[in-house]
């Protein structure tokens, strides 16, 4: 663990988190709720996102990196609860936009890894770590780029999987109304808004994530490198 690693991790964390929240805000704006748009969150500019959640976007990521060598944290996007009540399917689409954005970044990182290997910039390592999905051919800029892409792969896989866990307050809990009737969707949204569910949901979701993430990460690595047998 060093300062350079911390800067790389934070840059990727901040970009991925802001991209996630901007996707929520953009989707809500296009579907009729301009709450987040009005405070500048339909943007990849990190400033409005940090202003809204300084603890989750600055303090927690830095402390988690110092404690464990990788970053966790959060940001948030405001929305109009009345709009979500009136249009539960639109609210579900807004919720789904966040994890989808992380999946897009995950696919982009996969493309960069394969292009880097094809052009002789990267090579497939003998062993995998969360920040060592691919290696650079030298200790200069290619190794730095390899680490950035590796963190981008792992972090967006984390954000994608974790946010799809269907417990409030995570995005996955707000997606079901997309498949329910309007009236049932409204009742469902009202039900999951109970603050007690948010506290219990985070605890349960973290336990579930702890059980499944390494297995999913390993599957993703072996899909990234077909024919490999990492374990």
For residue 77, pLDDT over 80 is answered with: yes
For residue 228, pLDDT over 90 is answered with: no
Domain that holds residue 211: 3-224
Residue 3, pLDDT score: 84
Residue 223, pLDDT score: 94
- Based on the structure, what is the number of domains in the chain? 1
Does a structural domain hold residue 230?
Answer: no
Beta strands in 91-177 (DSSP E): 122-123, 135-136
Question: Which residues face 136 on adjacent strands?
Answer: 122
Rounded to two decimals, what is the model's pTM? Answer: 0.94
For residue 149, pLDDT over 80 is answered with: yes
Does a structural domain hold residue 23?
Answer: yes
For residue 1, pLDDT over 70 is answered with: no
The mean pLDDT of 121-138, rounded to a whole number, is: 94
Does a structural domain hold residue 175?
Answer: yes
Residue 194, pLDDT score: 87
The mean pLDDT of 98-102, rounded to a whole number, is: 98
Does a structural domain hold residue 229?
Answer: no
Cα end-to-end span (Å), the chain: 24
Summary mean pLDDT of the chain? 94
Residue 59, pLDDT score: 95
Is residue 131 within 8 Å of 154, Cβ to Cβ?
Answer: yes
CB-side neighbour CA atoms (13 Å) of 12: 30
């Amino acid at each position: 663990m060093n300062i350079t690693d911390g800067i790389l991790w934070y840059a990727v964390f901040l970009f991925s988190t802001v991209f996630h929240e901007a996707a929520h805000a953009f989707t809500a704006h296009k579907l009729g709720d301009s709450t987040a748009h009005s405070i500048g969150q339909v943007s990849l500019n990190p400033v409005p996102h940090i202003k809204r959640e300084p603890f989750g976007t600055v303090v927690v990521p830095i402390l988690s990196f110092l404690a464990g060598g990788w970053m966790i944290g959060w940001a948030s996007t405001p929305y109009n609860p009345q709009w979500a009540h009136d249009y539960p399917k639109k609210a579900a689409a807004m919720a789904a936009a966040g994890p989808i954005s992380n999946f897009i970044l995950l696919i982009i990182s996969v493309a960069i890894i394969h292009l880097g290997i094809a052009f002789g910039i990267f090579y497939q390592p003998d062993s995998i770590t969360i920040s060592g999905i691919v290696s650079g051919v030298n200790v200069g800029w290619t190794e730095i780029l390899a680490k950035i892409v590796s963190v981008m792969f792992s972090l967006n896989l984390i954000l994608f999987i974790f946010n799809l866990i269907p417990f409030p307050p995570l995005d996955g809990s707000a997606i079901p109304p997309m498949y329910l009737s309007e009236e049932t969707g409204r009742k469902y949204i009202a039900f999951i808004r109970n603050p007690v569910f948010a506290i219990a949901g985070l605890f349960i979701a973290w336990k579930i994530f702890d059980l499944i993430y390494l297995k999913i990460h390993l599957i993703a690595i072996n899909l990234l490198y077909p024919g490999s047998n990492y374990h």
